[in-house]
Structure 1
Amino acid sequence: MTPPPIMSRYHCEIEMNNGIGATYRRLPLNATALHWHRQQFGYDLAVNEQVRRRLQCNAAYIDRIELETLLTGHEGCVNCLEFTTDGLWLASGSDDYKVMIWDPFRRRRVFTLNTKHLGNMFSVKFLPKHNNNIVATCAADKFIYVYDINHPNETLYSCNCHSMRAKRLATAPDSPYIFWSAGEDGCILQLDMRESHQCRTEERANGVRLISLWSQVESTTEAKCLAINPRRTEYLAVGANDAYARIYDRRKLPTSQDTTDATGAVTYYAPGHIVKNNTPIIVHDPRAITYLTFNENGTELLVNMGSEHIYRYDLNNAGPPVFYSPPPAPPVASQEASTDTVPQDHQSSETGGKGESHKSHWLPSSIEMHKKQGNEFLQNGKLMAAIDAYSCALAKYPQGEVLYLNRATALMRRGWFGDIYAALRDCHDALRLDPCYVKAHFRLARALLELHRPQDADECLQALIQRFPSFANNHGVLMLNKDIKENRRQSNAKNDQGASKSAFEFLPQDEGVYRNRHFSNAEFALRSASKDYMQRYCGHCNITTDIKEANYLGSNGEFIVAGSDDGNFYIWEGDTGKICSAYRADSAIVNCVQPHPSICMLATSGIDQDIKIWSPCAPSPSERSNLIADITGFVEDNQQKMRTDPFDLNTPNAYCFNN
């Protein structure tokens, strides 16, 4: 077989094993050659899987990602992208109501579908096991269509059961005919293209309506996105216009349309700093989940939250957030050996000098270098760099309690959304490793206070004094105790003021006209029991559109990719949360970032009317023309934008808010 045309004259060597022996091939660093190489050496399944992992997320490739080509032809914003399972074709849907099928390796358009849609297209999906021929679409006109690209003038299936915009479709790898849709009417539909039905009649709609968030949550709840677990297809994840990701077990959903109780069929996931503010009273929340997806093994869920960050959940081990849990009491003999000096300034750390620990927290020499680098960044006010340095060290040496403490210090100084809660988690980890770590105990009390939990903060501080009486008169302890008492006094005053309000504002649900101001008891209980995240990814901005994606890059989630309102897309290290690169990819907003299923290739789109294909085609890491040099500047601007009112007409990109 003749290899495809070479698009780059720059080569690297890759060792392959075809079952006979090791061979070396010189390859150009571009996606076309990588794909050809995978086809040539993919005979043995075990070898093929190893090669696939190496070709998709090898660090040498990630460091050379650059724009390979533009795919042009659309006449509107490109709102959705989808690779086929085999990665040969790419589908795109646009505001021009067209679906285009591309061969990204030959850089050409293969098919154009002039759909019947009369609104912006939000989702396009290939139905599995149809040889890449069957495509489903949904759009702002509330319609869902299924097409055979070989007969583009006919629809195989249509549905307009949604009463508001249809936002996202999902398929399951074992279901060639059944697929799912999410709409802003709060409904999740389960559609079987083998069965015809009449739309917009209540009886018929109930036949395809799987979930109604309006009934389960409240009447303004919109379903924004959904995903099917690829390994356990009975599990369906749903994102709505709130901060809670829901995973339903379709086997346990009520079959009778007379009941809306899905309590036993659903689990909620949300960051702890959001769960702590949970209230039965319905209040407006600007946060919304714009995209979610399972990892390849179906053991994790990745959630892109509007007006917030990206969160990664471990579905097998996630638990509820822990705010204060006293560390186990240490043996009396070990208390003195493990004590250290409480900082006079509540945001100092173990960086040497004033407040330096009496106990030496030993670290391996290579990890000590990361710590010193982080300390230097921290002292110079480079908080993002300090957090990255400590995170890299912890990824290599998770037993370093001092690393957790110093990262907590940097997080509390930075103060982005969720930083104080992340610092609290770090304090718990430090105390888990060393229950006698006085400074971590003190920092935990300070974090609890800043999270507006003065009672927990008081309990934590009193436990510190009880265990280590010699610190009772420490200046830092005395000042923190004073702050806690003042905070509790103010909280009590607010509670007294709230109690004097009209009782009608706080009537329970069954007390009459004000019941719609409250969630049901079942919904409130589900939110209160939400499970906490495993890792988070900060830096991008997601406030302007409600279709912004985040995806895994690598079969084991080695990297995370997402678009941003600043016109860039970002790549994070999966284990540390550190931004390893960002690229200019749109004149305004990047909404879609879709990794190729088996090689190091990305497709991006947004407000521009083109699709950009990215691959490791740069001659060297230093020769990437679209790479963002000053990532810190963009990231800090993004955090500032997320604190602004998204409805402010002066907000950049406000013209395309919510698409």
Structure 2
Amino acid sequence: NVFQARFMPYTNDQTIVTCAADGEVRLAKIGDGGDVPTTLLGDHDGRAHKLAIEPGSPYIFYSCGEDGLVQHFDLRTNTATKLFQCRNSLSKSGHSSNIHLNAITIDPRNPNLLAVGGSNCYARVYDIRKYKWDGSSDYPSDCYCPPHLIGNRFVGITGLAFSHQSELLISYNNENIYLFPKNGGLGPDPKSSVKIEANKGSKSTIVSSGEDVDRPAPLMYAGHRNCETVKGVTFIGPNHEYVASGSDCGRLFIWRKKDGKFLRAMEGDECVVNCIEPHPHTMTIASSGIDNDVKIWTPSATERAPVVNIEELKPRKRRTKLWHFSLPEELIFHVLASRRRQQAAGDDDSSEDLEDSTGLLNLVLRAAERDVLSDEDEESSEDSGDCSLNLSMAQPWKHC
């Protein structure tokens, strides 16, 4: 399952780099005879979701993965260098778990600035010039987050994009899309050094190091649904005048960048639209999702399309659903301990533990079934499909 494939600049569209669900980052060369041999350049421990190519460079690009690692690649040597590991805590003291990274992007006006985001509320910007190449510097130079989401453990970032004006676009799961102006970040450690005092109209009053700082509130783009999968976000237009994203309803959404006005929703997929890629030179867009094909969009209609009312949009009929719910850690640990005792005791002495474990698991499944049935009662009658139960410890978000 290849998550992203990118042409390297100035290679006559014959050099492609990819990242995939197996964590591998590969180089593909399109030969004159049509052969496409691939070379393994590096890998991640877990899925590798996105690549970022250094603007104008036919050799340099970066990858990010669910291991929280950002890697640097140079095709002149076909080597991978581990740059830094993104961790949940921004404090330099104490241990912290890794962030599952979903997105990475480079500022086109300053290729030294690299932004990443994942299972955390903050988009982190790193200045490559300030970091050692041995992976020993893991802390960002700036962080971005809407004021109302700071410290929120139940949201994560699925998509990032820099505009030509160095604005940073962030797409959150179970939330909206936000646009931050250049230099509109909260600093390298916002949780400990920044306190939100008020939200007054278009300004957020922020107290930092004893001083009041007025920062423009980020623009918001709403109306789509980003809950089920890892969705990208992008700018479109010759001067990045518009913002585009996929949606769980199978539509492609377009907003006007300058004021967040919703412009259009287009039918793009039977299930979910995940990826949107603009053509680098023309007003052409490619979109893809769960379907097996890719759609190409061009503004060539002879009649003006009617404007879609977001309030009237209904969810599509889905083929499958992923239900996610949390279980108490004590219950999970009890089940696991019973399993271990069963294995240690052997088949002859494990009947009691097996019965206990089976009883607990049945109890869990019955509770899960009740949750699912309760949720189904709230769904539209059009929203039917197979149900897949995902039993896990408390996770703030889940992607398919």
**Cα offset, 1:268, TM superposition:** 0.3
State the identity %.
Answer: 32
1:127 to 8, 25, 30: 8
Q: Which has the higher strand share?
A: 2
C-alpha distance in 2, partners of 1:305/1:532?
19
Q: Counterpart of 2:156?
A: 288
Given that 1:310 and 1:538 are in contact with CA atoms closer than 8 Å, whether structure 2 keeps it comes out as yes
Q: Does 1:577 align with 2:256?
A: no
**Cα offset, 1:633, TM superposition:** 2.4
Given that 2:88 and 2:98 are in contact with CA atoms closer than 8 Å, whether structure 1 keeps it comes out as no
Provide Cα deviations, 1:78-100, integer angstroms capped at 9, x if missing partner: xxxxxxxxxxxxxxxxxxxxxxx
- Higher radius of gyration, 1 or 2: 1
**Cα offset, 1:532, TM superposition:** 6.8
C-alpha distance in 2, partners of 1:249/1:287?
25
Q: Counterpart of 1:308?
A: 175
**Cα offset, 1:574, TM superposition:** 1.2
Amino acid at match of 1:558: E
Q: Does 1:561 align with 2:207?
A: no
Change (3 A) 1:588 1:192: same
Provide Cα deviations, 1:596-618, integer angstroms capped at 9, x if missing partner: 22322211111111111112222
Given that 1:544 and 1:646 are in contact with CA atoms closer than 8 Å, whether structure 2 keeps it comes out as no
Change (3 A) 1:303 1:317: closer
C-alpha distance in 2, partners of 1:427/1:295?
21
Question: Equivalent residue of 1:273, what SS?
Answer: helix
Given that 1:171 and 1:180 are in contact with CA atoms closer than 8 Å, whether structure 2 keeps it comes out as yes
1:600 to 274, 277, 283: 283
Given that 1:241 and 1:287 are in contact with CA atoms closer than 8 Å, whether structure 2 keeps it comes out as yes
**Cα offset, 1:220, TM superposition:** 4.1
1:272 to 139, 147, 161: 147
Q: Does 1:542 align with 2:226?
A: yes
Which protein has greater RCO, CA pairs closer than 8 Å, 6+ apart?
1
Change (3 A) 1:532 1:225: farther
Change (3 A) 1:161 1:600: closer
Change (3 A) 1:220 1:251: closer
Q: Counterpart of 2:35?
A: 152
C-alpha distance in 2, partners of 1:215/1:289?
13
Provide Cα deviations, 1:192-214, integer angstroms capped at 9, x if missing partner: 122255xxxxxxxxx71111124
Question: Equivalent residue of 2:263, what SS?
Answer: strand
**Cα offset, 1:427, TM superposition:** 7.2
C-alpha distance in 2, partners of 1:598/1:139?
27
**Cα offset, 1:563, TM superposition:** 0.6
Provide Cα deviations, 1:129-174, integer angstroms capped at 9, x if missing partner: 111110001111111110111263422x313431111111110123
Q: Counterpart of 2:23?
A: 142
Given that 1:296 and 1:555 are in contact with CA atoms closer than 8 Å, whether structure 2 keeps it comes out as no
**Cα offset, 1:583, TM superposition:** 1.1
Question: Equivalent residue of 2:201, what SS?
Answer: helix
Change (3 A) 1:428 1:137: closer
Question: What is the TM-score normalised by the length of structure 1?
Answer: 0.44
**Cα offset, 1:296, TM superposition:** 2.2
Given that 2:250 and 2:269 are in contact with CA atoms closer than 8 Å, whether structure 1 keeps it comes out as yes
**Cα offset, 1:295, TM superposition:** 0.7
Question: Equivalent residue of 1:610, what SS?
Answer: coil
Given that 2:145 and 2:186 are in contact with CA atoms closer than 8 Å, whether structure 1 keeps it comes out as no
Number of residue pairs matched?
A: 313
Q: Does 1:213 align with 2:86?
A: yes
Q: Does 1:658 align with 2:399?
A: yes
Amino acid at match of 2:84: I
1:224 to 79, 102, 106: 102
C-alpha distance in 2, partners of 1:645/1:322?
35
C-alpha distance in 2, partners of 1:595/1:196?
28
**Cα offset, 1:590, TM superposition:** 0.7
Question: Equivalent residue of 1:208, what SS?
Answer: strand
Amino acid at match of 2:111: T
Task: Give RMSD over aligned pairs.
Answer: 3.2
Given that 1:187 and 1:213 are in contact with CA atoms closer than 8 Å, whether structure 2 keeps it comes out as yes
**Structure 2: gaps (5+ residues):** 91-95, 188-193, 317-321, 326-370, 377-382, 391-397
